[in-house]
Amino acid sequence: MDQELCLEMKEITKRFPGVLALDRVDLDLRRGEILALLGENGAGKSTLLKILAGAYQKDEGSICIDGKQYEFATPKEASEAGVTVIYQELNYLPDLTVAENIFLGRQPTKGPLGRIDWDKMNREASEILVLMGVSVSPKTLMSNLSVAEKQLVEIAKALSKNMKILVMDEPTAALNDAEVTKLFEIVRGMKEKGISIIYISHRLEELFEISDRVMIMRDGRRIGVVDTAATTKDELVTMMVGRQIDEMFPKKYLESGETLLEVRNLTNRTKVKGVSLTLKKKEILGIFGLMGAGRTSLADTLFGAEPLTGGEILIEGKKLNLHNSRDAIEAGIALVPSERKTAGLILGMSVKENITIATISELGKGMGINLRAEADKAQRWVIELNIKTPSIHTVAESLSGGNQQKVVLAKWLEAKPKLLILNEPTRGIDVGAKVEIYNLMETFCEQGLGILMISSELPEILALADRILVMSEGRITGEFTREEATQEKLMKCAVGGM
């Protein structure tokens, strides 16, 4: 075979109960190339890579690395053959330090008793982080890091191993533009060293920037492979969803209603330092900012998940006294958090239970839960959001990443709030589903809801928000109408300038 190839996966088939996740999929990877993997939520991308990583067992097919055939029974075996994977769902131990997470299971030791050499471990971790340009101390606890920082630690962990093939499953989903630029520098450096990279992302712009070839998957099959330089965005989207998408951002112009939310000089113990804003009914208010600007902390405080230390929150002119999220839900507030795996979804529960959990009290008519109504509701959302699942009784854990996120969205939309706070609503969600979610946001606005949308994706926020606030270091540093706003203006305010 072509000696340039460093990996050949042939006719890989994988079945889960009720799902043919992979149907005779081929993948070949050349030495020192970056191959992007593109496909809708549930197309089989993560499953294919988990098989390469030894995390799942294939039912059929073969894997060759550098001409040698492998059967990986465990992740350890794959790792020894030079395969390193950074998963979509971050895997870390929150109570350990950054350095411990980087060297988990292979900590440097010293002395005859094999004690952990803490100095060496911290020093080496620090070296990698400095090399990456990440300003995180190796002694920090993982639980104290932001999502983006946790992601960077995962990458540091991968970099500290010797590898031939690096697989990254949506590594940039939680990163902002500056962090993505940094990551790409690191990735290009690895490519130059002859490491081959498989890269999954739903952000098409990125694939054009970083990849050499793109492989497209749909419904567990390989649809095709194209040279990045010779393709277009339209072509990729069409291959991916099997149809053309006419309008990416379906903005409707609504006359906004009376004031829904008023926030006066809000402060909290962590990031928020005097935020005032108003949001009208039927309005989408965008909040843009860089990682660490305080947007998530603001959302948490509005949702009662973080206590305020000053200022006030009013809904329909009524001052709220929020002790916890339950109070917020009762006041008509819903929050779709950004780190959905830990904050939004109960992995061991079914799709149905996850969707109806926030509204279960409403369904119970004094005599236990109305099971039929519960199932109907769940079923409706599965159709409306096109959630790919064998049934509503499937456990959430077995859904693909993007489909898990749709379940969390459904749960909060079902709660029919007055105020919907969306933190990075389309992170990790494929192009087709994004449009569905945008459409839903518009529909909810028409019904009188107000939406606070936190997003790091400039095209999304510019296209959907009626008004945009920019946050930097816990304060509002700019406010623009949709007509005034441009990428440059938003970025300028976000970095704390004028």
Ligand X SMILES: Nc1ncnc2c1ncn2[C@@H]1O[C@H](COP(=O)(O)OP(=O)(O)OP(=O)(O)O)[C@@H](O)[C@H]1O
Q: Which does 122 bind (CB under 5 to 8 A by kind): Mg ion, ligand X, none?
A: none
Please classify residue 263 by burial: count the beta carbons closer than 10 Å to its beta carbon, then call 0-12 exposed, 13-18 middle and 19+ buried. buried
Nearer to ligand X, 126 or 403 (CB): 403
Candidates 68-76, 220-228, 395-403, 411-419; binding stretch for Mg ion (CB under 5 A) = 395-403
Phi-psi region of 304 (alpha: psi -120 to 50; beta: other; left: phi over 0): left
How many angstroms separate the CA atoms of 496 and 23, rounded?
50
138 binds ligand X (CB under 6 A): no
Site string for ligand X, 31-70 (x = CB under 6 A): --------x-xxxxxxx-----------------------
401 binds Mg ion (CB under 5 A): yes
> Are residues 331 and 342 in contact, defined by beta-carbon separation less than 8 angstroms?
no
How many angstroms separate the CA atoms of 464 and 422, rounded?
13
Nearer to ligand X, 440 or 491 (CB): 440
DSSP state of 190: H
Site string for ligand X, 357-396 (x = CB under 6 A): -------------------------------x--------
Instruction: Give kind and range of the element (H or E) at residue 439.
Output: helix 431-446
* Residues near 362 by beta carbon (within 8 Å), at least 6 away in sequence: none
CB of 173 to ligand X, least distance (A): 10
> Are residues 19 and 391 in contact, defined by beta-carbon separation less than 8 angstroms?
no
220 binds Mg ion (CB under 5 A): no
Amino acid letter at 87? Y
> Are residues 403 and 365 in contact, defined by beta-carbon separation less than 8 angstroms?
no
403 binds Mg ion (CB under 5 A): no
281 binds ligand X (CB under 6 A): no
97 binds ligand X (CB under 6 A): no
CB-nearest residue to Mg ion = 46
> Are residues 401 and 88 in contact, defined by beta-carbon separation less than 8 angstroms?
yes
CB-nearest residue to ligand X = 402
Phi, psi torsion values for 412, nearest 5 degrees: -80, -30
420 binds ligand X (CB under 6 A): no
136 binds ligand X (CB under 6 A): no
Site of tokens 């606890």 = 141
- Cα distances (angstroms) measured from residue 397 to each of 48, 351, 460: 17, 9, 28
21 binds ligand X (CB under 6 A): yes
Nearer to ligand X, 178 or 395 (CB): 395
Candidate list 402, 417, 474, 478; residue touching ligand X; CB under 6 A: 402
97 binds Mg ion (CB under 5 A): no
Site of interaction with ligand X (CB under 6 A): 16, 19, 21, 39, 41-47, 88, 388, 398-403, 430
Site of interaction with Mg ion (CB under 5 A): 46, 88, 400-401
